[in-house]
Structure 1
């Protein structure tokens, strides 16, 4: 009987190669089936592993939730939909991504609609400085991110690419670099997996 892969594909382990945070344990099976035009009778096994450049707390929380959803049989490869994240924003009277609306709502809540001032907090609570740090990272997340700790992104707890719902209760702040890189690694890992295929998540501690 063939041994199951327990480490990333060889190309991901080559000297100088970028460390991946997500790979498919049974990638060869899906790649072969895609080339042959056949169907795989079974789930895709997605393995998640923290990267040294990630925010470990945010990765652990994300991985833990995806594993829980996997245990509940709630994950499957979703159909790509560029408009799935669009919603009407009454404040601008335009259609915007739900993640951007969520980000701006958080900023407004934390700044009391833009009136964030030192006298709103006290030395004991340090509320002003605490809010300012979060707000600065939320603003920074609107632009390019090159390393962890630079900004926050609204993250879908149940990934859209794994059939999560694009609703506000499925969003929460996450380190932007960790969010974007993990999301990209998951997308690459699942590229040969047909839509509707169940996904099992394993986490390497």
Structure 2
């Protein structure tokens, strides 16, 4: 029974919530008239439709999708390489995660301090904010299971890697949105430097 549930969870995760569609004249016009537009190398924008799929947190999806939609309307989304550690002019594998790590540690300290002297309660309080689910081999397979400090303005769309761009959100939902956005852009061959418009659909 557990195996069947895991299979259903994987199927739900693999269901795409993001896809690249053709930009309309209205989309392009709105982008060109936006104030404070992102540098875009003169390229026309692409439109990515975001749709909440089964199993996603409605609250997190609505907050993240609407924030991205607004940023796109303001001309502030453009496909970027995710910031990584820089060494001698070359990109290396991992970016510096100290900012999100510090935010996570601060949250864990906050929730555990409310249960001084009760190690079991402290363990239960901090588990949703750890980097992975210790009870499920690190897998995040459903909404409500874990929480992440999420970049509101996605790093892959030019967002800043700082505390002001972080908000605690449902891990499953925000990770799926980020992964689906990347897959949609990869599959459509969207180049770095291409402006992006997000369209939320029901």
For normalisation by structure 1, the TM-score amounts to 0.67
Instruction: Indicate whether 1:196 and 2:197 are aligned.
Output: no
Aligned partner of 1:24 in structure 2 is: 20
What are structure 2's unaligned runs of at least 5 residues? 1-11, 24-40, 86-93
Alignment-derived partner of residue 145 in structure 1: 140
Say which one has the larger Rg. 1
Matches within 5 A, 1:147-166: 147-166=142-161
Kept in 1: contact 2:151–2:167 (CA 8 A): yes
Unaligned 5+ runs, structure 1: 1-15, 28-38, 87-95, 120-128
Distance 2:151 2:201 in 1: 21
Structure in which a larger fraction of residues adopt helix: 2
| Contact kept? 1:141, 1:150, Cα under 8 Å | no
1:181 matched to 2:181? The reply is: no
Cα distance in structure 2, aligned partners of 1:195 and 1:64: 23
Which moved further from structure 2: 176-185 or 160-169?
176-185
Q: Distance in 1 between matches of 2:112 and 2:106?
A: 10
Question: Number of paired residues?
Answer: 158
8 Å Cα contact 2:61-2:173 kept in structure 1: yes
Offset at residue 99 of structure 1 (A): 1.8
Which residue of 60, 78, 81 corresponds with 2:80? 78
Aligned to 2:61: 59
Q: Report the aligned-residue RMSD.
A: 3.0
Q: CA deviation at 1:154?
A: 1.2
